[in-house]
Amino acid sequence: MTRADWICGSDVNQHLDTEDPIVSTALIAIDDLRLTAITASWIDIEHLTGILILGTNNSFLLFYSTTITIQGYSVQSY
């Protein structure tokens, strides 16, 4: 996994065209279109992009909702 596969909270702030995204914690790993090793939650209602995650353990998501498109990645909820 390369550095380009990781999106941090600060990157979200820089790449969302909004003044007030809600960002907490930092790390999103994208591996074969599956989200792993995540502890992050942010959502941008105005632009209809975002991710809301409550609890992960590197194997599965306890809760994941909506769709994100950041830096060319698009990941659907499942």
Sign of the alpha-carbon dihedral angle for 72, 43, 77, 58: positive
48 in a domain, yes or no?
yes
* pTM over cut 0.85: no
Residue scoring higher pLDDT (78 or 52): 52
* Chain segment 17-70, per-residue pLDDT in tens: 444 444 444 344 455 444 444 444 444 444 445 555 444 444 444 444 444 444
CA distance 30 to 37: 9
Whole domain around residue 67: which residue ranges?
Answer: 3-73
62 in a domain, yes or no?
yes
Band (pLDDT 50/70/90 cuts) for residue 71 is very low
Number of domains in the chain: 1
Which one-letter DSSP state was computed for residue 3?
G
57 in a domain, yes or no?
yes
78 in a domain, yes or no?
no
pLDDT of 33 reads 46
pLDDT of 50 reads 52
